[in-house]
Amino acid sequence: MSELSMSRAERDTFLAELHVGVLSVERSDSPPLVSPIWYRYVPGGIVEFNTESGAEKVRLMEACGRASLCVQREESPPAYVTVEGTVSIGPATDDVRLEIATRYLGPDAAGAYLEVSQDDLNVALSPQRWRTVDFAKL
């Protein structure tokens, strides 16, 4: 393990903080699809996010069964966590949709967002491989 790598506890704490994630899903005919996402993570668990049922990333994840997620700290000193794993896709519950929307938009805008995003699915990313770097350790 590199001196700049995060411990499991550091990694879990970092991923549970508020960051915009960047999802990557493989495509057979072109480079991977890369898309920003809002997510939630409870340390030691799965990464969950919602997306529109007709989104290209849904079709691609259904085809390959896996995805990668990268989250980063943009201010100095930079840090990042990437997680790769299998995905399962199912109906999004109103509770999870509201929790994730509130996390990113606040309580006032979250309700309005839910009204315009009715056709969501829930994606659960089960971590299998991690990569981490924290330049605060220099």
Domain assignments of the chain as residue spans, ordered by start: 8-137
In the predicted model, what is the mean pLDDT of residues 71-99? 96
In the predicted model, what is the mean pLDDT of residues 107-132? 93
Residues 5-64 pLDDT 10s: 999 999 999 999 999 999 999 999 999 999 999 999 999 999 999 999 999 999 999 999
Q: List residues bridging with 68 in a β-sheet.
A: 24, 84
| Among 52, 53, 79, 57, residue whose Cα is nearest residue 67 | 57
Q: Give the pLDDT score at 43.
A: 95
Q: List residues bridging with 132 in a β-sheet.
A: 81
Supply the CATH classification number for the domain 8-137.
2.30.110.10
Residues 47 and 39: beta-carbon distance below 8 Å: yes
In the predicted model, what is the mean pLDDT of residues 103-109? 95
d(CA 131, CA 116): 35
The pTM assigned to this predicted structure is 0.95
Percentage, residues of the chain above pLDDT 90: 93
HSE-CB of 26 using CA atoms within 13 angstroms: 10
